[in-house]
Chain A
Amino acid sequence: MIYLLQQALNALQLGSIYALIALGYTMVYGILTMINFAHGDLFMVGAFFCFLIATILKLPFVPTLLLSMAGVAMLGVFIERVAYKPLRQAPRVSAVITALGVGIFLENFTLVFFPYPQSVPQLLANVTWTVGGVAVSSLQVIIIILSLVLMILLDTLVRRTMVGMAMRAISWDKTIVPLMGVPLDLVISITFAIGTGLGAAAGTMYSLAFPVIDPYMGILIGWKAFIAAVVGGIGNIRGAMIGGFILGAVEILVAAFLPSTYRDFVAFTLLLVLLIFRPYGILGRPRPQKV
């Protein structure tokens, strides 16, 4: 029982990171029906921003997190303006290839400055409590709570504010809605800023939990978060959160009860089976194709 609780805690921590990153994929897809494959690398840039702010400016955790989120959000908006906007009318596949290119650029640009893995300083007091035999670290608690807070904030923003309404409207129809006076470019920029900002938050927390960072750290986790977004139903915000937690739980539980060599094999087979039964993901709905 203690073992199961311990693994459940591990799963929550991993799942909340996946969920935060998956949100970035799903938001961009919801608005632009485009998969931003550079998102995993923006997550990596977030981790490096955290590292730079913490080592050079020596700021504590909260300002580091906010600055890193702001920095990456600006980078996200910039990338959208420079790399994706000119391709908005082009075939979707061109935009996807551009996104892959942006990702590779970000990796190698970081590689020029940081060829070595870097060690991120401890910004948070790292205490381990033992609660009924389960080892709970303060970092784990902070990561889980902070992720949940960010997700609730986002959910409220999308469902209850004017900006959120504009986002949902544009996601519904990109031609008619701007004619009603909704500023298309501004809403897209805000979406990118929020999505990449959340990715940076994930990167910051990830780099504190696993304090060795390198320019390639975003690739694998980016792919996994993308899969989480698809499983949850890409384009659906609550779906991305659920998908992230499901993927985290499946990965941890498979490793916990089966030989860990089978982890990815079993985990992704399960997800494939799930997609066979729910091809649009858990919360996704088929979109009618416009002719």
Chain B
Amino acid sequence: MKKVYYLISLLAALSLLISACGPGGGAATIKVGGIGELTGDIPAVGASFKNAAEMAVQEINDAGGLDVGGTKYKIEFFLEDNAGKADQSASAAQKLITQNNVVAIVGPNASRYAIPASEIAESSKVVLISPWSTNPKTTLQSDGKTPKKYVFRACFIDPFQGRVVAKFAMDQLKAKKAAVLYDVASDYNKGIAEFFKQTFEENGGQVVAFETYTTGDKDFSAQLTKIKEANPDVIFLPNYYSEVPLQIQQAHRLGITAPFLGSDSWGSAELLKLCGSDCEGYYFSTHYAADAATPAATKFIEAYKAKYGSTPDDVAALTYDAFGLLWEALKSAGKVDRQAVRDALAQIPKYEGVTGTMQFKEGSGDPIKSAVILQIKDNAFHWFANANP
């Protein structure tokens, strides 16, 4: 019995200690939360997110803090890992909001994790900005029409991206027949594949094969054999960077020679490493091109390279922009208040970010911005064309 008492008193002492460094730790700080895919199936996304987030926070703190309503606030950043799981994304959002008492959350990045987290943020009335989630559902209520009030993003959305790639395939590659292979278990892949098909067919093209698989599959031989039979001019793979190399390698092994197209999920340096020479010459749409950058982007790219020794990918750039939007909103809100931040963010007139200019309109959390098409050449990403709506 005595042991139990010791244990209880020890636990009580511990909890006191923990709560002592909880709320009210520093006088002038703003608490900001982040949710990233640090482990799980797309850890390269989480790593870029973490790098850019820490850089954005450090820049503010090194400059003495963020000026909100005349007071300089330091930023206190809470980073949560969602382990590449939808339920952990929701619980991370819950934890940041209720335990860490953050004023806003940046992340998660992939749509399948951003959507569950966004539901929590919306019902708790806390701003959530997803840097990289392009599925329309992230910023929409469950009815699919009304925008969520508290959820924003720093990137364009899938219908737009699907349209851009379909147009590119028809205009630049002169494709008439297209095939699509996508992960039917992932919101992102599914959404973008459907919008590609819709646009391609509306413009007189033909989608000769529309094949699916499920997350975790590695053998795509049945679907690719089917695609080969249909003999398309171009094959669209709106899938994640860890799967695309396998798909292209297997296609080559089956003797498929049609060019491949991709979406922004290709834009990780990991793709180049995993794919080797198999991806040479293919195109994908994404958010920004590191080699055709604006002055704002050049400054960010230089700083990022100096700090981490690698070129920032689109996730890093968008994460940085998501934080940029948040700082802008905090400044114009003039106070550290969840509701005020949300109202200020919705009214930002025009934000000049790393990935281009952004603006939120008509209560929607989707910014108005443009896309770029990159080509993989000499094992690197090169700017190929700009694509505007």
Chain B residues, Cβ within 8 Å of A11: 222
Q: Choose, from B106-114, B213-221, B318-326, the stretch at the interface.
A: B213-221
A277 at the interface (CB under 8 A from B): no
A interface residue numbers (CB < 8 A to B): 3, 6-7, 10-11, 13-14, 111, 115-117, 119, 126, 128, 130, 135, 137, 139, 206, 209-212, 214, 216-217, 219-221, 251-253, 255-256, 259-261, 263-264
Complex: chain B residue closest to A206, CB-CB: B218
- CA of A149 to CA of B267 in the docked complex: distance in angstroms? 42
User: Do residues B246 and A116 form an inter-chain contact, with CB atoms below 8 A?
Assistant: no
> Does B218 contact A115, Cβ atoms closer than 8 Å?
no
Known: A116-B44, A117-B274, A128-B255. A214 touches B242 (CB 8 A): yes
| Known contacts A128-B253, A217-B218: A260-B226 contact under CB 8 Å | yes
A251 to B32, CA, bound (A): 47
> Cβ of B223 and Cβ of A211 under 8 Å apart?
no
Q: Is B212 an interface residue (CB 8 A)?
A: yes
B218 cross-chain contacts in A, Cβ below 8 A:
206, 210, 212, 217, 221
Any A CB within 8 A of the CB of B88: no
Give A263 to B246 CA distance when docked, in angstroms.
Answer: 19
Say yes or no: is B379 at the interface (Cβ < 8 Å to chain A): no
Nearest 7 interchain pairs by C-beta = A255-B222, A10-B221, A210-B218, A220-B216, A135-B255, A252-B222, A117-B242
Compute how far the CA of A81 lies from the CA of B54 in the bound complex, rounded to whole angstroms.
46
Q: Is B211 an interface residue (CB 8 A)?
A: yes
CA distance A128 to B221 in the complex (A): 14
Q: How many residue pairs at the A-B interface have CB separations less than 8 Å?
A: 93
7 pairs, CB–CB < 8 Å, chain A vs chain B: A128-B252, A206-B218, A212-B274, A253-B222, A260-B211, A261-B212, A263-B214
Interface centre among A14, A130, A135, A221 (most CB of B within 10 A): A135
B239-269 CB contact bits vs A (8 Å, 1 = yes)?
0001101100110111100000000000000
User: Are B221 and A139 in touch, CB under 8 angstroms?
Assistant: no
Contact check: which of B211, B222, B228, B246 meets A210 at CB < 8 Å? B246
| Overall SS of chain A's interface | helix
B86 is an interface residue with CB less than 8 A from chain A: no
Q: A119-B273, A212-B246 are in contact. Are A261 and B222 (CB under 8 A)?
A: no
Which one of B212, B216, B222, B254 lies within 8 Å of A251 (CB-CB)?
B222
- Whether B41 sits at the interface, judged by CB under 8 Å, is yes
Contact of A130 with B274 at beta-carbon distance under 8 Å, contacts A13-B221, A119-B245 already known: no
Which residues from A are CB-within-8-Å of B273?
119
Kindly provide the distance from the CB of B333 to the nearest chain A CB, expressed in whole angstroms: 37
Partner of A126, one of B212, B253, B254: B253
Instruction: Check: B340 CB closer than 8 A to any chain A CB.
Output: no
Asked if residues B255 and A130 are in contact (CB atoms below 8 Å), the reply is yes
What is the total number of residues of chain B having a CB less than 8 Å from a CB of chain A? Answer: 35
- The CA of A25 and the CA of B238, in the complex, are separated in Å by 36
Q: Given the interface contacts A7-B225, A10-B221, does A260 sit within 8 Å of B216 by beta carbon?
A: no
CB nearest to B213 among chain A residues? A260
Q: What residues make up the interface of B, taking CB atoms closer than 8 Å to A?
A: 38-39, 41, 43-44, 184, 211-214, 216-219, 221-223, 225-226, 228-229, 242-243, 245-246, 249-250, 252-255, 270, 273-274, 276
Does B222 lie within 8 Å of A260, measured CB to CB?
yes
Known: A115-B38, A117-B242, A211-B246. 14 other contacts (CB 8 A): A10-B225, A11-B222, A111-B39, A126-B253, A128-B253, A128-B254, A130-B255, A139-B253, A221-B218, A252-B221, A255-B211, A260-B211, A260-B212, A260-B222
B41 pairs with A220, CB closer than 8 A: no
With both chains docked as a complex, state the minimum distance between the C-beta of A76 and any C-beta of chain B, in angstroms: 23
Interface centre among B229, B246, B255, B276 (most CB of A within 10 A): B255
- How far apart are the CA atoms of A255 and B221 in the complex, in Å? 9
Question: Do residues B225 and A3 form an inter-chain contact, with CB atoms below 8 A?
Answer: yes
Inter-chain contact A116/B255, CB cutoff 8 Å: no
Nearest chain A CB to B83's CB is how many angstroms away? 10
Smallest Cβ-Cβ distance to A116: which chain B residue: B43
Q: In the complex, what residues of B have CB within 8 A of residue A3's CB?
A: 225, 229
Complex contact B225–A214 (CB within 8 A): no
**B contact residues around A111 at 8 Å (CB):** 39
* Beta-carbon contact of A115 and B43 below 8 Å: yes
Decide: A135 near B43, CB < 8 A? Known: A119-B245, A260-B226.
no
Complex: how many Å from CA A25 to CA B44? 34
Contacts of A10 in B (CB 8 A): 219, 221-222, 225
Q: Is the CB of A115 within 8 A of B39?
A: yes
Q: A115-B43, A214-B41 are in contact. Are A256 and B216 (CB under 8 A)?
A: no
Residues of B with C-beta under 8 A to A14: 219, 221
A165 CB to closest chain B CB (Å) equals 37
Least CB distance, A95 to chain B, in whole angstroms: 26
Contact between B270 and A117, CB atoms less than 8 A apart: yes
Task: Among B184, B211, B212, B219, find the residue whose CB has the most chain A CB atoms closer than 10 A.
Answer: B219
Which of chain B's residues have a CB closer than 8 A to the CB of A7?
A: 221-222, 225
Neighbouring B residues of A130 by C-beta, 8 Å: 255
The CA of A135 and the CA of B255, in the complex, are separated in Å by 7
Tell me the bound Cα distance from A183 to B365 in angstroms: 69
Which residues of the other chain, B, contact A126 by a CB distance below 8 angstroms?
253
| Given A3-B225, A117-B274, A119-B274, residue A210 in contact with residue B219 (CB < 8 A) | yes
| Nearest-neighbor residue (CB-CB) of A7 within chain B | B225
CB neighbours of A117 from chain B (8 A) = 41, 242, 270, 274
Which B residues touch A214, using CB under 8 A? 41, 242
Closest to B256 in A: A135
